[in-house]
Amino acid sequence: MAMASSSSSSSSRPPSTKAMEMQMPVERPASRPYEPAKIWCICDGCGIVCLCIAYTLLFVSNVTVLRLGRWPLGESFQFAFTIGYEGLFVLSIWSHLACMLTDPGACPLDVEYADGDRHCTKCRAPKPARAHHCSTCRRCIMKMDHHCPWVNNCVGAKNQKHFLLFLFYTSLQCVAAALSLGAYFADSAVSMPRRPRKPSAFLAKKDPAAAAEWLEELKKYSETQVRSESDLLCCVLIFFVAIIFGLFTCIMACDQVSNITSNTTGIDVMKGKDKEAVQRPWRESVQEVMGRGPSWRWLLPTPLRHTQEE
């Protein structure tokens, strides 16, 4: 009877707080959805140096073309060609900034592993298919093409459009600058001032005013010659820079277009995995990079529409 009463009393006793906590299911805090940074910036020494060189060349070439450039079809079309060139300059700077400050597609660090995901020992996070770790950005980048120091960022799934537009507009700007400065060379060769002739010694003795006039013309000619030689030197340098960088950006743009249409990346080609890429219509690959279209948004470095909707 005593044992029964003790057992009944113990069963009627309310359970302790610790026992209740052990019986209750433990609620784990839900992982927050991955939110990419609005402004993505990489602090890399080599990238910053290349960035300064790129902007210096773009701005110096723009000022040189505005000061000395000549355009075809006469003076009546000078304003229209100048506005077009400035439009290319603004679009190239806009595309460069968009490519540099856009998250290239960094893989989230706080998600669970999915089927087929690998493990990145450096990020200590899941590594999806076709993602590669960038030692400069210190992140795994989805569909990484390469790390470009000229834009101080990786070229990946979310900013490849901006990179392609930067190459396109820069190559057009280089072609326009080469044509404009080439016309300046031709115009300077035709209208180059001649050195004033020195009056004869007899005339100089008889007419001191003629000698003074000759000295004044010689002074003006020397000042003009120095200014024209400095302008010519600047034009020659910018002309060759436009040729070199025009060829470089044109080749890079063709390479990017080839990779996009074949659904591969630069790293896939380097590793010999370009033949393993999933074959699909080139329009789907282009729309994955440029957004839904064809659309006028393809010509502007705006965010991808399908990325925002997803």
Higher per-residue confidence, 30 vs 282: 282
The residue ranking higher by pLDDT, 245 or 112, is 245
Close Cβ partners of 122 (under 8 Å, ≥ 6 residues apart): 133, 138
For the chain, percent of residues with pLDDT exceeding 70: 70
Query: Distance between CA 95 and CA 11 in Å, rounded?
Result: 74
Task: Identify the band that residue 62 occupies on the pLDDT scale cut at 50, 70 and 90.
Answer: very high
Binning pLDDT at 50, 70 and 90, where does residue 285 land? confident
The confidence score (pLDDT) of residue 211 equals: 57
pLDDT of residue 11: 43
Phi, psi of 269 (to 5 degrees): -70, -40
3-state SS of 277-297 is: CCCCCHHHHHHHHHCCCCCHH
Residue 24 has pLDDT above 50, yes or no: no
Average pLDDT over residues 200-210: 55
pLDDT number for residue 220: 55
Mean of pLDDT values over 241-261: 93
Read off the pLDDT of residues 291-307 as tens digits, 9 standing for 90 and up. 887 888 899 999 876 54
Q: Decide which of 85 and 129 is more confident.
A: 85
pLDDT at residue number 160: 93
Mean pLDDT, the chain, as a whole number? 77
d(CA 36, CA 157): 13
- Of the spans 57-66, 219-228, 277-286, which averages the highest pLDDT? 57-66
What mean pLDDT do residues 93-108 have?
Answer: 92
Query: What are the tokens at 274?
Result: 């370009």
- Give the per-residue pLDDT at 6: 42
Say what the pLDDT of residue 300 is: 92
Task: Quote the pLDDT of residue 194.
Answer: 57
Whether residue 227 is predicted with pLDDT greater than 60 in this model: the reply is no
226 or 57, greater pLDDT: 57
Q: What are the phi and psi torsion angles at 63 (to 5°)?
A: -65, -40
Mean pLDDT of 106-123: 80
